[in-house]
Structure formats: C-alpha cells, structure tokens
Amino acid sequence: MCRHIAYLGPPARLGEVLVRPEHGLLRQSWAPRHQRYGTVNADGFGVGWYAAGDPVPGRYRRAGPLWADPSFADLARVVRTTALLAAVRDATAPGADAEAPAAPFAAGPWLFSHNGALRDWPDSVAPLAASLPALDLLALEARNDSAFVWALVLRRLRSGDDLGEALAAAVAALVAATPESRLNLLLTDGAAIAATAWGDTLWYLADPGRSAVAVASEPYDDDPRWTAVPDRSLVLATRTTVLVIPFKEPPR
C-alpha cells in the first residue's frame, strides 16, 4: 500500500536517491516492481532529511502524487543530506486529512514510516489506544492507522528504547491485537536505521566501503548487492553494518 526508503551515507542530493535511479521512489509512485498490495502510490508523499549540525530533520509532505509536484523537483535538485527517509502513499481508506497522513511522521530527531495496514482498524486496537495517555492520542497527526502506529513507537522511544527495541515492541503489541495486519515499519534518527519486514517486501543495499546503506521497500536499481529481507524480521543498520534478526512467533 506504500513504498518507503531510508538512506545513510555520504552527502547526496535528494534527487540522487529518490529521482535519478531508474526504479527510484519517483517511479515507484506509479510503477512499483515488488508491491504486493495496491498498484499506484498517488495519495501523498513525503521526505524528511537532516542538515549538518541540526539533529532535528526537516520535512516536505504533500497530499498529491510525487510526480505532479514541481516544487519537489526543485527541492530534490538542490538539497543535499547524509540521511533521509521518504515515502509514497497508497491510502488504505479515503480521508480528509490533506498531507497529514503522509509519511514521514516526525518528533525530535526521529523520522518514521509505516508500509502496511492494521486489520479492522480502528476497532481492533481499541485496547491499545486505551493504554496510551490521552495527550498522545490528541497529538496524532492524522486519523489513520499509520499515525497510531507512530504513537506506539514514539511512546517507546520517549521511554528510552533504542530504535530496534521501539519497533519490536510496537510490532509485538500490534500483532497481539490484530494478527493479520501488515507492519513494515521504517525508523531513523539520522545516525542509524531500524526497519521491520512483516507482510510486505523489504530490501537493503549496503556499501561499507562508502559508509553508505539504504533500506527500502524495493530496490531502486538493479545493483546485485541488494538483499531481500525475510518476512518477520527486524533490520538494524548503520553506515557500515547491517544486522537482520528474525522475529520469534509471536515477537516478544
């Protein structure tokens, strides 16, 4: 239902990661090669990136398709970064929240995206919602399942969990509440990436020699070093290392 990507590495223009590759996120917005659910990602998009010396990322999000935004083309041409997270969206259900449901979601140093859907949303997660402080629910950026998943992850991050622990805990809680959900999650703080493969495709491309790594829903080119992540796995990546950890059944 969506495609997303996170990148860490040498300074690169947004367009070098998202637009220039033959099968980059721009092309994935209308012609993804590995998407299992949906065919066109035209219900919004967003990119978040980190500037030198500033731990809080900037964001650019819109409600329409990536290919129809000339302002983004200008942004992608000139903005350089060593870390980004971007996504294109295929909405699970219609809504009226404009760009708010489009990833990446953000708080402090973190950027987050959810590729998937919560089964029987919102009824299936009512007990989980009741466990969150009222202020967390009132602060939801949008009235969709991805914003709720982000609230669960953010709660764990603010309690001191690292990136991988926060994603694993959220997946465990959500699978217990709604087992047939799809939970491909992507999270970065600009220094590391954590991701989960749960119900849709996930790949990574590691280039330790350049101190670069990309974790994405699908490869943006035909580089043979792209590696598919097994379903029900947690990925922890830095610029020089990638660790893939299988979830137990159910994850704990």
Positions annotated as catalytic residues are: 2
- What CA–CA distance (Å, rounded) separates 172 from 46? 27
Can you say how many angstroms the Cα of residue 135 is from the centroid of all Cα atoms in its chain?
A: 24
Tokens of 152: 């669960």
Beta carbons within 8 Å of 187's beta carbon, 6+ residues apart = 6, 110, 111, 112, 113, 153, 163, 166, 167, 193, 194, 195
184 three-state secondary structure = strand
Distances (CA, A) of 213 to 38, 184, 203: 27, 18, 11
